[in-house]
Amino acid sequence: MENIKLEIQDHIGILTISREKALNALNTNILKELGEAVETVQNNRDIRCLVITGEGSKAFVAGADIAEMLATDASEGVPFSELGSRVFLEIERLPVPVIAAVNGYALGGGCELALCCDIRIASENALFGTPEVGLGLIPGWGGTQRLARIVGLGMAKEMVFTGSSIHAAEALSIGLVNHVFPQDTLMDEALKKAKKIAGNAPIAVRNAKKAINEGMQCDMDSGLKIETEKFGLCFASRDAKKGMNAFLNREKGIEFDNQ
């Protein structure tokens, strides 16, 4: 992979979109590489949390590659949308939690990439937006769907219809991001949160993510059934016995085996 870096350390995957000169803009080739990296994470049970960020201090992902889209006709637009949507859905459905460390511009496809992550934290210079209508387009990689689910219908429509961008502080106030940190501490804070997640029982964390994500797609009764099923599955793990025994014996600092 030429434009995607994937490092693994202490059960944490760090995926960096590495196209700094182009502000990490996404094109077809980079989306395919991103899909390959996501598959690697999917198949590596040693990874318990994934952090996604962009290279440099200016951009997380500034958007899709406009030059490539300009050369795209109507028959090619649908496959291009399908490719990005599929890769982002694969990120959303990864069994492990995904943290977006948004270190600058997160516009268009960059905002959509952040939206498919479980937790979003941003640097103070981060900028979020869905400016596609100003180009004669609409968000095509999940933006019209995920944004409304996260910030509410009215705010999502305002952002999409106006194409306006918002700074990190406003993104925090509307629930688009969980936390805002200074640029120079962003990755440290992301890794600190990832380490906290990775230190918990991996099977329990995976089942919790499934229960939340699947439950959000159905009514309360169905969601509670999903939760009950995932709760029961946890009791089949050695980690559950280990965790409960440690609690009763007042043991601290235990390491879970992912079994």
Supply the CATH number for residue 181's domain.
Answer: 3.90.226.10
Annotated active-site residue 33? The verdict is no
Neighbours of 121 (CB within 10 A): 26
Residue by residue, pLDDT tens for the chain (259 residues) are 899 999 999 999 999 999 999 999 999 999 999 999 999 999 999 999 999 999 999 999 999 988 888 888 888 899 999 999 999 999 999 999 999 999 999 999 999 999 999 999 999 999 999 999 999 999 999 999 999 999 999 999 999 999 999 999 999 999 999 999 999 999 999 999 999 999 999 999 999 999 999 999 999 999 999 999 999 999 999 999 999 999 999 998 889 998 8
**Sheet hosting strand 127-129, strand order edge to edge:** 59-61, 105-107, 127-129, 165-167
Has residue 254 been placed in a domain?
no
Please tell me the number of Cα atoms within 13 Å of 235 on its side-chain side. 4
Domain membership of residue 123 (yes or no) is yes
Per annotation, catalytic residue among 2, 20, 92, 112: 112
Q: Which domain holds residue 32?
A: 4-198
Q: Kindly state whether residues 240 and 187 are assigned to the same domain.
A: no
Q: Which of 132, 158, 229, 255 is catalytic?
A: 132
Q: Which of 183, 198, 213 is the last residue of a domain?
A: 198
Residues 79, 183, single domain; the answer is yes
Q: Is 132 assigned a catalytic role?
A: yes
